[in-house]
Structure 1
Amino acid sequence: MGGFSFWHILIFAIILLLLFGGNRFSNMMGDVAKGLKSFKQGMADDEDDKMRRYEEQRRQDPRPLPRNEDRPIDVTPEPRRSTDSVPPAGDDRTNG
């Protein structure tokens, strides 16, 4: 008992169809679909406007990356520090 069976749902759908009529129900669903479509289009337009404003601002106020062309970029690795606690391989002092 507690749940709706197929027959309950079918009877409820028939009552709704009689109250609203086939044409009226179809028109309501069409209006809902149009509303969803316009909502999606509005969201896409807002996103396009934001991108357009960002691009315009970026073109008007370009911020070049700081460059020091006098010196080349140093890509050499840093030397290992002597604070490593791991003794070199082959050291017999680790066993006691």
Structure 2
Amino acid sequence: MGIGGISIWQLLIILVIVVLLFGTKRLKSLGSDLGGAVKGFKNSMQDDEEEKKNLENSEETTAKSEQAQEEIKK
């Protein structure tokens, strides 16, 4: 018995039916499209994290600059 009560033979039969219905070329392009979408999602998540860090660094720099200006005024 395999995953969740589905045997390996049932999975192979489903795979054969899918290949027969859609063809290997269509499945290959679907797989590459899906891979590209996942890669784009990961890149956008990394970009968001970098942007957040840059914003935090900018806020820290602004606060330090304001403190230095106050000390100069004293």
TM beyond 0.5: yes
1:9 CA displacement: 2.1
Return the alpha-carbon distance in structure 1 between the equivalents of residues 33 and 44 of structure 2: 16
Indicate the larger mover: 3-12 or 23-32. Answer: 3-12
How many residue pairs match? The answer is: 62
1:13 CA displacement: 1.0
Give the unaligned 5+ runs of structure 2: 69-74
Aligned partner (choices 7, 10, 15) of residue 8 of structure 1:
10
Give the unaligned 5+ runs of structure 1: 65-96
Q: Which 4+ stretches in 1 moved above 6 angstroms?
A: none
Larger radius of gyration: 1
Higher helix share: 2
Q: Which has the higher contact order (CA 8 A, sep 6+)?
A: 2
Partner of 2:71: none
Partner of 1:30: 32
Instruction: Please tell me the residue identity of whatever aligns with 1:29.
Output: G
Identity of counterpart residues, as a percentage? 32
Normalising by the residue count of structure 2, what TM-score does the alignment of the two structures yield? 0.73
